[in-house]
Structure 1
Amino acid sequence: MRKSTAGAALLAAVSTVALGVLTAAPAQAAEYQSALKIRGAQYDAPGADRNSCSSGNTSQEYLTLKNYSKTATINLRGYVVEDATGNTFTFTASHSLQPGDYVRLRGGNGTDSDAKNVVYRDNCNFMWNNDRDTIYLYKPSGSFSDVHAYSKSGNDGDGNGYISFHS
């Protein structure tokens, strides 16, 4: 039986590609290429939910975003936060996060403050579902910066309404 060197080369190339596909990183690992990540979420504000600007507790629901870079400052302008049903918030003002710094994106109304690390959504409705949701963070380019799905029963062991995603 005659062996074809072209056939052997093709088989080796296909085997290498197949091995590469089998050992490739999972699709969600792309999130770790971004320095800006979702640190955690207070998805269930303490107390009974009240969607009211004057007497509600939507400001107690928040998302913490952190700059995990050791050297780069990140300007949040243009970043978008979204939930599974399409509710969105876009950072329209410049807000710079130094390496290791964080910001809390809160519901309700208030004064954004770099000194207090807070940005308000200026919306008195809750954004995150209390039982389960998915939180998407998009870069200004539209690509993913980070994404996390959660459920109260699966991720919140102590039942306090807060989940950590990155330490």
Structure 2
Amino acid sequence: MRIRSALAVTAAAGTLAVLATAPAQATEYSSALKIRGVQYDAPGPDSNNCSTGNSKSEYVTIKNYSRTATVNLKGYVVRDATSTNKFVFASNHYLQPGDYVKLRGGHGTDSDANNVVYRQNCNFLWNNDKDTIRLYKPSGAHADTHAYTKYDDGDRNGYISYHG
């Protein structure tokens, strides 16, 4: 759940060199689908009440970064750091090259035209202070992973972008 970074220290010929490695959220996997961003802290006071709450305003955006391949999301899995909260794309949802989908909390009607899939669950998926978002291929292989803390959110709007 923490952003991990390693510090390597080497000594050669009396010289001390310090090298910082990239944080865990920079890990790259070979997948066309990647996590584009996360609204980890829904605007307003948190309430997972299905009729009056704001869990529908919490979402993760998944984008197809391929230039040529259409990807079917069926079987892809999104999990949090503890893997106790997860969502499996159970239906066909095709992403054309450059297209994206927002996986939202709450109840609603999935729509290819509106690029949205609902979890059909009003509980929040992401922690407001820190968490890890994991995207898995139907085979179980990692597609993408990003860890965050609220301190990574420079403008403090509850949204963090990845992959430009």
TM-score by length of 2: 0.83
Alignment correspondent of 1:95? 93
Alignment correspondent of 2:110? 112
For residue 37 of structure 1, the aligned residue among 29, 34, 52 is 34
SS at match of 2:56: helix
**Structure 1 moving runs of 4+ over 6 Å:** none
Answer yes or no: is the 8 Å Cα contact 2:109–2:117 preserved in 1.
yes
Alignment correspondent of 1:4? none
Cα gap change, 1:43 to 1:88, in 2 (>3 Å): same
Alignment correspondent of 1:68? 65
Instruction: Give the number of the structure whose alpha-carbon radius of gyration is greater.
Output: 1
Gaps of 5+ in 2: 1-22
Shift of 1:85: 1.7
Q: Within 5 Å, give how 1:5-154 maps onto structure 2.
A: 29-31=27-29, 33-86=30-83, 87-153=85-151
SS at match of 1:51: coil
Aligned residues: 140
Gaps of 5+ in 1: 1-25
Give the whole-Å Cα distance in 2 for the aligned partners of 1:29 and 1:69.
Answer: 18
One-letter code aligned to 1:117:
N
Give the structure with the larger helix fraction: 1
Shift of 1:129: 0.2
- % identical equivalent positions: 69
Give the whole-Å Cα distance in 2 for the aligned partners of 1:92 and 1:98.
Answer: 18
Give the whole-Å Cα distance in 2 for the aligned partners of 1:99 and 1:76.
Answer: 13
RMSD: 1.4
